[in-house]
Amino acid sequence: MSAPTATSPFLLSGAEGPLTIRTETRGSTAVLVPSGEIVHGCTTVLDPVLGKLPGGTDGLVLDMAEVTFMDTAGLQFLERLEDYSGLAGISLRTVNWTGQPRRILEITGLSVPATESDPAGPASDQPPPDTGRLLASLRSDQGLSAVAAERAEQVERLQEQVQQLEQAMASRPVIDQARGILMAVESCTADQAWDTLRDASQHANTKLRDVAEALVTVSTGGPAPTEPVRTALRDAVDRQQRRVS
């Protein structure tokens, strides 16, 4: 029969996102399961968790299965765990490195065992990475460069998302105007006008905003749309009319 499991969550809220650490007591082994990102300030979440570990704990396992990102603050996190285990005289190991944290270890040359089914008892013959080796690798220039590269990629993805949102917001007024024109001219609903614009965009292989802008421009006395856009709009209107008739 397995030992009862105790759970003690602590939450850190910050600009980088929350980090939660769940503790599970399995016999005399305490398993720490951080969830989220290990970033600046993470040790303020770890310290109270370590302070509440039950007496008689003789083993400490860091289960990384739920960690989605780790930057150079991961050094502080691992160092704090290593200091605690040294002072308490208990063993420390890490398991279940996945995703971005695992990629960092692989880039720095550390071999990582397959995901373990039970953090309290390794399922494979290959020993899990010890904290000393992890710290040495993460402190190396290669390790720090790997972490920096991962952070730069994440920032770039966020910047792309922001740019896409800004473009969508800038496009909304002209699209709404084009929908209004179609609703007035074709006596259709807002949804039908939207479907017509989207249909025309797909068949003309032109961005929806550009199709909408061409329609608004010609309705205010500007130049006519290009032939592909004009044809796509006419055909889209015909298809919409056939669907509702």
> Distance between CA atoms of 239 and 148, rounded to whole angstroms?
52
Q: How far apart are CA 101 and CA 127, in angstroms?
A: 18
Predicted local distance difference test score (pLDDT) of residue 34:
92
Q: Which residue has the higher pLDDT, 104 or 102?
A: 102
Q: 193 with 200: CB under 8 angstroms?
A: no
CATH of segment(s) 10-139 = 3.30.750.24
Domain boundaries, the chain: 10-139, 159-244
pLDDT in tens, 197-226: 999 999 999 988 899 988 888 888 888 888
Read off the pLDDT of residues 182-200 as tens digits, 9 standing for 90 and up.
Answer: 998 888 998 999 999 999 9
Instruction: Classify residue 94 as left (phi > 0), alpha (psi -120 to 50) or beta.
Output: beta
* CA–CA distance, 98 with 114 (Å, rounded to integer): 9
pLDDT at 141: 55
pLDDT band at residue 95, thresholds of 50, 70 and 90? Answer: confident
Residue 115 has pLDDT above 60, yes or no: no
- Contact of 60 with 29, CB cutoff 8 Å: yes
Q: How confident is the model at residue 33 (pLDDT cuts 50, 70, 90)?
A: very high
Q: Across the strands, what pairs with 26?
A: 29
